[in-house]
Each structure stands twice: as structure tokens, then as C-alpha cells.
């Protein structure tokens, strides 16, 4: 326990008082709790799910796995933990990741400070006391000095507004909100709407069960084989032995928080044969790092075209029906400008006699009938419908909470033209409100665990800094925030990313402002920026002591 006093000095009488309220008990909220408790702070975590795990609690669809290898998609803060946990596969299934999260909750005794099945509905900052009042779905209000939003980037499942959907007489599922009981599609005609990562993982598994599967595709996506396999004990040992360097590299040198061999040249620096051999090698190795074949794939359109062309050729080789292969070949965005998908037998699934691909760009969905999806040209009869339609990403979960900062202004009002933050950590006008992996930080462009740990450590240190100096509020300055928002956009527009209608841009939500949300500058670069900001006395942030505390100091 820290020798410093708890901070809950100026809270209104009556309400329960905390130093920090954390919203969400996924990977971010759990580690945040662990660090803050280590500082002797009184912390309460609210989690709307029935258990810990966040994304991994909700996304239970068939075939759900992470697209970052488990030996790297895992906490690094405890060497004992990373040495003792046995990942079974290169990409562990969702159930195993959830077991791991639960193991962490127990191992670090986190549960007593986590309240489950409780949503945070509103948080209001009181300028008179410099505290937040947090109201939860059970009607209670507590006060706290700090609020940390650990609400996740992809946690607000999005059900599209399709005519007739409520009248469908079979079961409707959303991949991001999957039932806890096993779903059995045996003997059923199933429809899947959407072809993003969630669909690409679930389609091959559903196809094995269903009598017939119809996949409704609006936009084709690039997918690379996962090459998932059981991990041998030698492979696990190699990671464990080299963890110090693997983790250091991921944090400090990588762009995306993943330890991987970095390319030393651009795609056009190699001749046709050498380039093809390199893509082939990456394709055979599998996984997200396909995009690391060359150092300019996401910067130079001609370089990108060479990689995209390679994957299109692979699709044509795998898929036997030329019409279907053509429909599956993405043509409307550069490869990697939407998160590249990682699959097991996705394209090959379209060779099965019980699978049909419907291109709903040319043959759009008109409505859902009680027993079918009606597209312009025909009714596709189905018994069950899976919506793999994604999330209101990055801002969606934050937007669902009524957050009122200075002068009663809500964050939704402030972000009406797109999210504005300084470093993705704080937003001006909202003192003592931190966001873990918020818009404006590498977040979804990285191995989330690396970015989560970096933010949690930074926030922990900022709070400790304030306590040591008797400071009561911290917030982003308008000027620093404006500069950061401009920088995030400038970096994004120097790449091919904005050329895709992706959820990175908010383009999947009708009416959502189009602004590039994650920071592309790279995990290592971003980390150095945050470290320098802190070393320079939290440059760009305004910190202040309470007037009351100052008065007390003067009079004593
Ligand atoms: O969601 P998405 P997701 N009518 O938004 C379509 C992470 N993740 O859940 O592209 C018809 O990518 C939409 O079509 P279009 C990962 O970061 C990771 O699959 O907008 N179709 C698209 O095809 C990922 O990027 C893992 O034209 C509609 C699909 O639905 C992120 O989560 C696994 C529609 C949505 O794709 C989101 O992935 C899963 C409509 N009205 C997820 N509305 C791994 O780690 C939407 N679509 C492997």
C-alpha cells in the first residue's frame, strides 16, 4: 500500500466515494484496477457484462479467435503470469482467451473491486468539488476523483436498420453479442450478412453445420490464412526465454505492437520474381504480418497494388467457380487500408455445395421477410440469420454514457464532428477523465494488449504524479488537443488508409462524421511521445491544485 493518503477528501457527504471509477472489466479495466490498487487507491470497476473479459465475453461466435498470436496477445506486466500460462494454439480460441482473463482476475484477486452486470449510465463533473458523480444502471450514484473509460474500441455491436428485421421468424444473432449457450445450426438454412473479420472467421465453421449457408456480401475483404496450429512446448519455450526482447521490441520499436521481422525495402525495389517469392513466403507463414512483406505497402499505391494483386490471384486459385472468385476479390480499397482479415479456409468454403455468395452491392437487400432475405432479384430462404455487421467503433461505447464535463457540456456534443482528444488519453473540458486506447491513439491499429498496458501505465503514473504534488485536476489543453488532432489526421492522410470506407473512418455508421480515428504514427513512436510529454511535466495538460487545498496551505 502506498504511504500517500487516499484522494477522496472533497466528496459530497452521503455518496460512496472512490479515488477512481473504472468503466469496463476487459483487458484494459482489469489491468487498470491492478495498477491503481497497487498505489493504494480505492477503486471501483463497473462491468455491464455478467463476467470479466470485455470483447472476449461478448464475441462467442463460432470460430472466434484473435488475429494476433496468443503468445503476444497476452499481458506482459507479470513475468510469472507469462511464464506459467500455457497457450494451446498459435491463435487460441475465444473460450481459451476468456479462461485466461478469468485466471488473471483470480490470480490477482481483482474480483472484489469489480461489480458485474452494472452499466455506467452517466458521469457528471462537479467544478465546485473537482469530483465526478457516477450513476449506474442500478440507480446508485457514487463520487470519484477520476474516471477511466476502459470501454473497448469494438464493444458496441451494431444492428443495421433493415426493413422487416423484427418480423423475421427464426433466430437472429449478432456475432458481437453471441449467446452463451452453444448455437446449433444443424439442418438449418443460415444467412450471414457482412464479410468482415467476424464473418470471415465464422462462415467456415457455420458452413460445416448448416444445411445451407448464404453469405450476403456488400464489400469483399482481403483475408490471409491464419495457419493456426497447436503450439509445441519448444515454441512456447522459445517465446518465454525471449520474452524480455520480444516485449521490448513490441512496445518500443514496432509499428503495430507485434514482434516481427521488419522489412528493409519497398515492394518495387524487388523484381517480379523476388517480390512474388516474398509474398508467397508471407502467405505460407500466414497472419497479419503479411503486410510487413515490404515497408511501403500502406504508403505507395503501386506497391500496394502488387500485394493486393497477389492476394486476388490466390483467391482465384482457391475458389473453383470463376464468378464466385471474382466476387470475392476486393477491388474497391487498397489491401490493409481496412483491417486485414485472418482466416481458416474462408475462401475454400465457397467451394462447398451448401454455400452461396450473394453480392448485395449489385443485388441489394430490400427487406427481411419472415422466412427469407429479399434481395432485388430473389428471395433467399433462411431459417436463422447471423448479423456480422460490426460495431460503432472507437466512440460507440463512450457515446452511450452521458458524460458531462465543465459547464455541463457532454462529450457527445463536443465530439459531434468527430472525436477530439490529446494523445487519445483525455479530451479538453473533461478533467480527470481518461480513456484507455481512445481515438487518437494507435489502439485498433496495434496489438491491443500492448497499447492497453502502455496507457494503463501512463495513467497510473500521471495519477501518482498528481498525488505526490497535491494536484487535484488534470486535463488536456485546447491547444495541445487541436495540435494532436491535426497531427493524427496529417499522418493518416500520408497513407492509403483513408482511401477505404472503413470503420477506422466511422464510414460504417450512417451519419457518423468521417475522421480517421486511430493514430497511425506507430506504437513505438507514439509511446516515445507519451513518455516525453510526461517527462516534460505533462506538457499540453493543465494540472491544478484545489483552491481549497491552496487556501489551507496558505493559512497553515
Ligand atoms: O465488423 P466489420 P467485424 N448491410 O465492421 C457489413 C475486430 N475483430 O465484426 O464493408 C449489409 O469489419 C459490412 O459491409 P461494408 C477487427 O479489428 C477481430 O467483422 O460496410 N452489410 C462488413 O462486411 C475487425 O476489423 C477479429 O460494405 C452490412 C461487415 O458487415 C473489427 O473487429 C475478429 C451492413 C462488418 O464488418 C470488426 O469486425 C472479429 C448492412 N446494412 C473482429 N452493415 C480477430 O481478431 C454492415 N455490413 C480475428
Collapsed DSSP state (helix, strand, coil) of residue 353: coil
Q: What is the pLDDT of residue 14?
A: 75
3-class secondary structure per residue, 170-237: CEEEEHHHCCCCCCCCECCEEEEECCCHHHHHHHHHHHHHECEEEEEECCCCCEEECCCCECCHHHHH
Residues of the chain short of pLDDT 50, as ranges, are: 1-5, 8-9, 548-556
Per-residue model confidence (pLDDT) at position 513 = 84
Tell me the CA–centroid distance for residue 454 and ligand 1, in Å.
Answer: 27
Query: What pLDDT, on the 0 to 100 scale, is given for residue 151?
Result: 96
pLDDT at 1: 33
Q: Give residue 6's pLDDT.
A: 56
The predicted structure's pLDDT at residue 530: 98
Q: For residues 523 and 513, give the distance between their C-alpha atoms in angstroms, rounded to a whole number.
A: 25
State in Å: Cα 544 to ligand 1 middle: 43
Helix axis angle, 301-318 relative to 272-285, nearest 10°?
60
Pocket test for ligand 1, best of 64, 161, 196, 385 (most atoms within 8 A of CB): 196
* Ligand 1 pocket: which of 194, 289, 437 to mutate (most atoms within 8 A of CB): 194
- Mutate which of 74, 159, 204, 389 for ligand 1 pocket (most atoms within 8 A of beta carbon): 389
Q: Which residue is listed with cell 480499397?
A: 333
Q: Residues near 152 by Cβ (< 8 Å), separated by ≥ 6?
A: 24, 26, 28, 54, 55, 397
The pTM for the full model equals: 0.94
How many angstroms separate the CA atoms of 483 and 40, rounded? 35
Which atom in ligand 1 lies closest to the alpha carbon of residue 175? 9
Residues 175 and 388: their CA atoms lie apart, in Å, by: 5
Amino acid at each position: 500500500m502506498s504511504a500517500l493518503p487516499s484522494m477522496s477528501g472533497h466528496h459530497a457527504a452521503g455518496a460512496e466515494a472512490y479515488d477512481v471509477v473504472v468503466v469496463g472489466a476487459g483487458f484494459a479495466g482489469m489491468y487498470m484496477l491492478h495498477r491503481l490498487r497497487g498505489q493504494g487507491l480505492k477503486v471501483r470497476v463497473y462491468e455491464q457484462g455478467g463476467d470479466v473479459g470485455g470483447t472476449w465475453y461478448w464475441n462467442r461466435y463460432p470460430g472466434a479467435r484473435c488475429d494476433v498470436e496468443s503468445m503476444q496477445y497476452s499481458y506482459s506486466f507479470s513475468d510469472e503470469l507469462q511464464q506459467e500460462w500455457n497457450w494451446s494454439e498459435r491463435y487460441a480460441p475465444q473460450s481459451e482467451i476468456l479462461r485466461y482473463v478469468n485466471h488473471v482476475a483470480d490470480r490477482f484477486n481483482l474480483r472484489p473491486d469489480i461489480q458485474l452486470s452494472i452499466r455506467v449510465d452517466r458521469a457528471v463533473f462537479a467544478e465546485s468539488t473537482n469530483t465526478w458523480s457516477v450513476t449506474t444502471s442500478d440507480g446508485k450514484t457514487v463520487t470519484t476523483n477520476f474516471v477511466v473509460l476502459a470501454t473497448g474500441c469494438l464493444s458496441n455491436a451494431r444492428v443495421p436498420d433493415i426493413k422487416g428485421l423484427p418480423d423475421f421468424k427464426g433466430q437472429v444473432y449478432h456475432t458481437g453479442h453471441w449467446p452463451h449457450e452453444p448455437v446449433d445450426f444443424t439442418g438449418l438454412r443460415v444467412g450471414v450478412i457482412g464479410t468482415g473479420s467476424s464473418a470471415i472467421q465464422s462462415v467456415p465453421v457455420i458452413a460445416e453445420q448448416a444445411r445451407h449457408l448464404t453469405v450476403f456480401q456488400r464489400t469483399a475483404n482481403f483475408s490471409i490464412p491464419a495457419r493456426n496450429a497447436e503450439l509445441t512446448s519448444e515454441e512456447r519455450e522459445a517465446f518465454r526465454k525471449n520474452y524480455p526482447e520480444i516485449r521490448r521490441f513490441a512496445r518500443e520499436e514496432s509499428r503495430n505492437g507485434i514482434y516481427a521481422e521488419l522489412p528493409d525495402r519497398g515492394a518495387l525495389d524487388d523484381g517480379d520474381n523476388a517480390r512474388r517469392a516474398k509474398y508467397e513466403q508471407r502467405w505460407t507463414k500466414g497472419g497479419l504480418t503479411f503486410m510487413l512483406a515490404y515497408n511501403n505497402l500502406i504508403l505507395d499505391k503501386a506497391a500496394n497494388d502488387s500485394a493486393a494483386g497477389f492476394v486476388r490471384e490466390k483467391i482465384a486459385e482457391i475458389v473453383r467457380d470463376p464468378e464466385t472468385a471474382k466476387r470475392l476479390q476486393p477491388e474497391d480499397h487498397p489491401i490493409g487500408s481496412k483491417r486485414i482479415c485472418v482466416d481458416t479456409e474462408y475462401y475454400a468454403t465457397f467451394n462447398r455445395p451448401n454455400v452461396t455468395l450473394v453480392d448485395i452491392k449489385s443485388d441489394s437487400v430490400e427487406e427481411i421477410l419472415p422466412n427469407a432475405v429479399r434481395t432485388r432479384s430473389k428471395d433467399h430462404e433462411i431459417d436463422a440469420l447471423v448479423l456480422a455487421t460490426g460495431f460503432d467503433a472507437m466512440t460507440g461505447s463512450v457515446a452511450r454514457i452521458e458524460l458531462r464535463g465543465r459547464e455541463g457540456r457532454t462529450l457527445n456534443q463536443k465530439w459531434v464532428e468527430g472525436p477530439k482528444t490529446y494523445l487519445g488519453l483525455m479530451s479538453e473540458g473533461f478533467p480527470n477523465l481518461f480513456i484507455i486506447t481512445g481515438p487518437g491513439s494507435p489502439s485498433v491499429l496495434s496489438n491491443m494488449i500492448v497499447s492497453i498496458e502502455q496507457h494503463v501505465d501512463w495513467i497510473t503514473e500521471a495519477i501518482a504524479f498528481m498525488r505526490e504534488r497535491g494536484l487535484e485536476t488534470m486535463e488536456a489543453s485546447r491547444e495541445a488537443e487541436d495540435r494532436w488532432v491535426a497531427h493524427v489526421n496529417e499522418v493518416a492522410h500520408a497513407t492509403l488508409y483513408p482511401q477505404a470506407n472503413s470503420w477506422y473512418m466511422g464510414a460504417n455508421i450512417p451519419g457518423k462524421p468521417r475522421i480517421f480515428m486511430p493514430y497511425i504514427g506507430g506504437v513505438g513512436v507514439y509511446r516515445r511521445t507519451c513518455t516525453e510529454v510526461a517527462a516534460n511535466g505533462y506538457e499540453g495538460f493543465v494540472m491544478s491544485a484545489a483552491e481549497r487545498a491552496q487556501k489551507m496551505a496558505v493559512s497553515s
